[in-house]
Structure 1
Amino acid sequence: MNFLRKGLLLAGMAVMMYASPAAAQQKEAKLGWKLGAQSYSFRLFTLAEALDKLDSCGLQYVECYNGQRLGGGIEGNMDFKMDAAKREQVLALLKSKKKKLVAFGVVSPRGEEEWKQMFDFAKAMGIQIITSEPRTQDLDVLSRLADEYKIKVAIHDHPKPSHYWHPDSVLTAIEGRSKYIGACADIGHWVRSGLDPVECLQKLKGHIFSLHFKDLNVKAPKAHDVVWGTGVCNIEGVVKELKAQRFKGVFSAEYEHNWDNSVPDITASVKNLREMIAKQ
């Protein structure tokens, strides 16, 4: 009888362990949060390989970047200028890997013709958010096309001296323009620029469409990524602020360290984040 009870207990624990990622994803879905990864985290690999790595990390959403080798039997690179046949191949690859393409970037087309190509690509691929650092002279064209296509454009912040390193420059860019233009909050880059990520999120309240999620080892320009919750980016404070703002959107894990084998770090990061979400 004792062996039977022990066996039942172990089986129950196994079921709980197996179910926990799904339960965590349900919590995220309730909040309107889509946890995924920027495929740049796996830039040394093909997109096909990156999608498998996302699976290992317990993630189903992906933000692709322009230029990654496709793999999976498909020639060429990810490119918003690819033809319709290649788009169909990539969509089939995503479907076969059970991954959802939700965002694309960081990409900054130049002029109306290229921006229209970008929006056509996004529409064809089901992309919800274009992550960009647009030229100031393209903002009016971008605003008009965003309204026309009803696709969001999230302005990303690289560290200073990048034009959009500070939230104030993002607010200036979106003022008086389409409601489909907002912010991609790269919290690690803010910390590299000497900014407080929670204060930056507060400045951008109501305009945040997505995040490039990071934690860093030190507050310095040359800092590197660490497992979320173990560094200096105040991840718990960031999660609390996003909940307070009722943020709904995409979290892209962008892990730019341990390039050859970042899956263990990203997996641990996702686990820590899901535990924080459950606690708050």
Structure 2
Amino acid sequence: MRKNIKYKITILLSFLLMTTTAFETKRNDNSKIKPWHLGIQLWTFHLYPFITAIEKADSCKIKNIEAYSGQPIGGIYTDSFNVNMSDKSKIFVKTILAQKKMKLHYWGVLNPSGKKEWNKIFEFAKQMGIKVLVAEPLKEDLDYADSLAGIYSMKIAIHNHPKPAPYWEPQLVIEAMNKHPNIYACADIGHWERSGLNPVECIKLLNGKIIDVHLKDVDEFNNIDANNKILGKGIINLNGIFEALKKQKYTGQITIEHEQDWLNNVPGVKENVKWYSNEMNKLFSSNYR
């Protein structure tokens, strides 16, 4: 009798252990799929100096920044965000970002004119803690830029301005990435829509090679002058894009680039953040308890 009871207890404990282990495995598998970091391209606030743009981004509760070249620093600093920034300005920018717990890992869109400029860009990026250079490289510089990216442990993300820009369609980006392991894609979905391309299909073509997404919505297809819209109020299939990115196990940044109401666009950015957060909750709800 005691043997039977002992046997039953052993079976029960084994079953509970197996159940717990299965649950833990499932939970750990799900935890690998996380919502993407939300950032903002500071071109959204290009009418203001860098320090004001940072304040605006912070007021929208965005902590990931994609800087662009040429934005005045502001305050007592007379130079701009670029490779020629003074050491004092570099220290100031890194200090204010640290105080606000913001990360500056992306910078672009860059248009280097040759190898000498690429050298300056990588050295400046290293000093600022930047990880991804969003750019439209000259095709003759691809080998050199890719090599530097490997040396500096950075990545280059090729951006697509509307046609007839050099990388306006995915196939052109794919050709540039060929045999260049450190070159990826920055998917500007609004510009694809403006160029008469289906952004969802473009995302699929660049499967696994996207590292930045410029998130926006527009009001017209195949018109390079199409107007920006609040996310979800334009014509872009944003949810289809999110689904495609999730399927690819995307791990890069989603970067809001809001291009309307330039003098008072904080309310629009906040509306975009709220919409995006709601969509992410729905998209990833099955992975969280």
Shorter chain as normaliser: what TM range?
A: 0.7 to 0.9
From 236, 245, 248, give the equivalent of 1:242: 245
Distance 1:107 1:35 in 2: 21
Instruction: Look up the SS of the partner of 2:280 in the other structure.
Output: helix
The alignment status of 1:261 with 2:264, answered yes or no, reads yes
Alignment of 1:96-111 (within 5 A): 96-111=99-114
**Contact residue 177 and residue 183 of structure 2 kept, 8 A:** yes
**Contact residue 74 and residue 89 of structure 1 kept, 8 A:** no
User: What is residue 3 of structure 1 aligned with on the other side?
Assistant: none
Distance 2:31 2:122 in 1: 28
What is the TM-score with the length of structure 1 in the denominator?
0.87
CA 1:32 to 1:142, structure 2 compared with 1: closer, same or farther past 3 Å? farther
User: What is residue 216 of structure 1 aligned with on the other side?
Assistant: 218
User: What is residue 5 of structure 1 aligned with on the other side?
Assistant: none
Distance 1:279 1:82 in 2: 42
Deviation at 1:29, TM superposition (A): 9.8
User: What is residue 199 of structure 2 aligned with on the other side?
Assistant: 197
**Contact residue 38 and residue 64 of structure 2 kept, 8 A:** yes
Higher alpha-carbon deviation: 27-36 or 55-64: 27-36
Amino acid in structure 1 at the alignment position of 2:100 = K
RMSD in angstroms over aligned alpha carbons? 1.7
Alignment of 1:113-152 (within 5 A): 113-152=116-155
User: What is residue 161 of structure 2 aligned with on the other side?
Assistant: 158
Deviation at 1:96, TM superposition (A): 2.9
Distance 2:41 2:31 in 1: 18
Amino acid in structure 2 at the alignment position of 1:250 = Q
- Per-residue displacement from partner, 1:1-51 (whole Å, max 9, x unpaired)? xxxxxxxxxxxxxxxxxxxxxxxxxx9996262201000000111111111
Distance 1:36 1:84 in 2: 26
Distance 1:237 1:105 in 2: 26
Amino acid in structure 2 at the alignment position of 1:143 = D
Higher alpha-carbon deviation: 254-263 or 90-99: 90-99
**Contact residue 43 and residue 68 of structure 2 kept, 8 A:** yes
Structure 2 gap segments, 5+ residues each: 1-29, 284-289
Amino acid in structure 1 at the alignment position of 2:83 = F
User: What is residue 8 of structure 2 aligned with on the other side?
Assistant: none
User: What is residue 24 of structure 2 aligned with on the other side?
Assistant: none
Distance 2:56 2:111 in 1: 27
Once the two structures are aligned, what percentage of the paired residues are identical? 39
**Contact residue 183 and residue 210 of structure 1 kept, 8 A:** yes
Higher alpha-carbon deviation: 250-259 or 74-83: 74-83
**Contact residue 31 and residue 246 of structure 1 kept, 8 A:** no
CA 1:28 to 1:201, structure 2 compared with 1: closer, same or farther past 3 Å? farther
The alignment status of 1:57 with 2:60, answered yes or no, reads yes
Amino acid in structure 1 at the alignment position of 2:213 = L
Amino acid in structure 1 at the alignment position of 2:201 = E
What is the TM-score with the length of structure 2 in the denominator?
0.84
- Per-residue displacement from partner, 1:33-82 (whole Å, max 9, x unpaired)? 22010000001111111111111212101000000011143221111232
User: What is residue 172 of structure 1 aligned with on the other side?
Assistant: 175
**Contact residue 157 and residue 164 of structure 1 kept, 8 A:** yes
CA 1:164 to 1:122, structure 2 compared with 1: closer, same or farther past 3 Å? same
**Contact residue 65 and residue 105 of structure 2 kept, 8 A:** yes
Q: Which has the higher contact order (CA 8 A, sep 6+)?
A: 1
**Contact residue 79 and residue 85 of structure 2 kept, 8 A:** no
CA 1:226 to 1:29, structure 2 compared with 1: closer, same or farther past 3 Å? farther
Amino acid in structure 1 at the alignment position of 2:205 = K
Structure 1 gap segments, 5+ residues each: 1-26
**Contact residue 81 and residue 118 of structure 1 kept, 8 A:** no
User: What is residue 15 of structure 2 aligned with on the other side?
Assistant: none
- Per-residue displacement from partner, 1:236-261 (whole Å, max 9, x unpaired)? 11111111111001111111111011
